[in-house]
Amino acid sequence: MSLIVQKFGGTSVRDAERVMNVARIVTDTFAKGNDVVVVVSAQGDTTDDLIAKAEEINPKASRREKDMLLAAGEQISIALLAMAIEKLGYHATSLLGWQAGFETTSAHTSARIRRVNADRIREALDKHNIVVVAGFQGISRRGDITTLGRGGSDTSAVAIAAAMHADLCQIYTDVEGVYTADPRKVETARKLKEISYDEMLELATLGAQVLNNRSVEMAKKYNIELEVLSSLAKAPGTIVKEKTKMEKMLISGVAKDTDVARISVIGVPNIPGIAFKMFSKLSAKDINVDIILQSIGHDGKKDISFTVAKTRGREAVAALEEYMVSHGAKEVLYDDEVAKISIVGAGMESHAGVATKMFEALYDAQINIQMISTSEIKVSVLIDINEADKAVKAIHNKFFD
Ligand code: ADP
Ligand code: ASP
Ligand code: MG
């Protein structure tokens, strides 16, 4: 007998018909003699709708109360799925995050899992129940409900697989696997048979929504092989694992991230310590800085540009403005009409000219590059947000046609 963890995202449980579809997949797996733990997300756009409701009442609501609200979405799905499983003649037990043993940090809206005490899940499995767990949520040491950040149900599934030493962890979604680009945006995107943790981690971090990056990080740490597949079509999916046997492609994918803003501090004094002081202001507020570009100084002045998450953009400007201007900078510019486009691939380590090929694709499409950053297995560029989809297509065509 195997222990299988199956996770279903919001679109997979969108309405009654989809919930019944999931119940059939889950009960088929159980009927083959497996123990099954199912993790589900909130139905359809429920989480977005709850966020909108909170905004309507108080945009500055505390993170604790936001978590209390957001966790409700998953409570609905687990109960409905358990009812659907019962309807098919099987026993099911639904569990909220805290009931399933998810202990987290108290960083509301982006809590991290400290550990999963799976005793209660185990107990329910021993009684031949299919266990349905609410993804995305847990409980802090103080006993408050927490959530793990958007897309966090993937991480919930991997955490259970790790804690219970599951034999298989399947992430069911609304596409057939991990593709070389978002298949909803690029018709020629190809489904990957397999991808390494490192490449998947980069893709997820750089905007490929199909897996949450923390879930990949955790899968790598505990060596949990993931299978990403469709809840709607019976087709082989993508395996995410340590080493892939596949012939190395030059790149494994193109990703787009629109949660980016560019900040430029113009005319700062060209003296030692300026970058340190400037970025200290941001780290004091826990604001992460991504791509950084500094101009060569002239006339004793230089410009420093960098990117931050759009959601923290205004706050970052506020943190810098007064300080920088009082320290001699001319002005602080802000632009959130930008997107970061990245290529990812382990093949790049051993091949020259990969970045050049990406830049050529952008040149062919007459798209201007504002900033560039590279690492061993990725190249990212910052461009105008209005050209983002065109850029992804152009780059994808260059590498895969
Ligand atoms: P779920 O609700 O199942 O968690 P998500 O919406 O979070 O699903 O993620 C699936 C979506 O990710 C797909 O519908 C697809 O549009 C998007 N996506 C972005 N990049 C990729 C990629 N490289 N491969 C597959 N899907 C991708
Ligand atoms: N429902 C949560 C969200 O929309 C968690 C998830 O779907 O993974 O972010
Ligand atoms: Mg998701």
- The neighbouring-strand residues paired with 380 are 342, 373
- Compute the distance from residue 325 Cα to the ligand 3 centre, in Å: 41
> What burial class does residue 52 get, using C-beta atoms within 10 Å of its C-beta: 0-12 exposed, 13-18 middle, 19+ buried?
exposed
* Per-residue pLDDT at 155: 98
Residue 78: nearest ligand to its CA?
2
Residue 84 is encoded by which pair of tokens? 């659907």
Measured in degrees and rounded to the nearest 5, phi and psi for residue 261 equal -135, 145
* Per-residue pLDDT at 322: 77
- Compute the distance from residue 74 Cα to the ligand 2 centre, in Å: 8
Report the pLDDT averaged over residues 282-291: 92
Average pLDDT, the chain: 95
From residue 13, give the alpha-carbon distance in Å to each of 73, 150, 217. 12, 17, 26
Q: Yes or no: say if 148 and 114 are a contact pair by the CB < 8 Å rule.
A: no
Residue 191: pLDDT over 80 = yes
> What burial class does residue 128 get, using C-beta atoms within 10 Å of its C-beta: 0-12 exposed, 13-18 middle, 19+ buried?
exposed
HSE of 189, CA atoms in CB hemisphere, 13 A = 22
Report the pLDDT averaged over residues 169-190: 98
- Ligand 1-lining residues (CB < 6 angstroms): 9-12, 41, 151, 173-175, 178-179, 181-184, 208-210, 253
* Per-residue pLDDT at 4: 98
Instruction: Pick the closest to residue 169 from 210, 213, 215 (CA basis).
Output: 215
Report the pLDDT averaged over residues 252-266: 96
- CA-angle at 370, arms to 365 and 375, nearest 5°: 95
Report the pLDDT averaged over residues 86-107: 98
Residue 381 is encoded by which pair of tokens? 């560029």
Residue 72: pLDDT over 80 = yes
- The neighbouring-strand residues paired with 258 are none
Q: Yes or no: say if 142 and 105 are a contact pair by the CB < 8 Å rule.
A: no
- Ligand 2-lining residues (CB < 6 angstroms): 9-10, 41-42, 47, 73, 135-136, 150-153
Residue 356 is encoded by which pair of tokens? 């050049």
Instruction: Specify the ligand 1 atom closest to the Cα of 154.
Output: 4
Tell me which H or E stretch contains 276: helix 274-283
HSE of 391, CA atoms in CB hemisphere, 13 A = 28
Residue 323: pLDDT band (50, 70, 90) is confident
Q: Which residues surround ligand 3, an ion (CB under 5 A)?
A: 9, 151
Residue 183: pLDDT over 80 = yes
Q: What three-state secondary structure class fits 98?
A: coil
Report the pLDDT averaged over residues 169-191: 98
> What burial class does residue 257 get, using C-beta atoms within 10 Å of its C-beta: 0-12 exposed, 13-18 middle, 19+ buried?
buried
* Per-residue pLDDT at 326: 80
Of 47, 173, 203, 226, best ligand 1 pocket probe by most atoms within 8 Å of the beta carbon: 173
Residue 250: pLDDT over 90 = no
Residue 41: nearest ligand to its CA?
2
The model's pLDDT over 117-146, given as tens digits with 9 standing for 90+, comes to 999 999 999 999 999 999 999 999 999 999
Residue 109: pLDDT band (50, 70, 90) is very high
- Compute the distance from residue 122 Cα to the ligand 3 centre, in Å: 26
* Per-residue pLDDT at 348: 87
Query: How far out from the chain centre does Cα 122 lie?
Result: 28
Residue 209: nearest ligand to its CA?
1
* Per-residue pLDDT at 247: 65
Q: How far apart are the first and last CA of the chain?
A: 44
> What burial class does residue 138 get, using C-beta atoms within 10 Å of its C-beta: 0-12 exposed, 13-18 middle, 19+ buried?
buried
Q: Yes or no: say if 250 and 349 are a contact pair by the CB < 8 Å rule.
A: no
- Residue of higher predicted confidence among 325 and 255: 255
Instruction: Specify the ligand 1 atom closest to the Cα of 231.
Output: 3
Residue 246: pLDDT over 70 = no
Share of the chain above pLDDT 70, in %: 99
User: 131: alpha, beta or left, given left = phi > 0 and alpha = psi -120 to 50?
Assistant: beta
What is the rounded CA–CA span in Å between residue 289 and residue 266? 17
- CA-angle at 217, arms to 112 and 220, nearest 5°: 130
- Compute the distance from residue 314 Cα to the ligand 1 centre, in Å: 28
Q: Whose CA is nearest to atom 9 of ligand 1?
A: 210
Residue 278: pLDDT over 70 = yes
Residue 349: pLDDT over 90 = no
E strands, 9-91, in order:
35-40
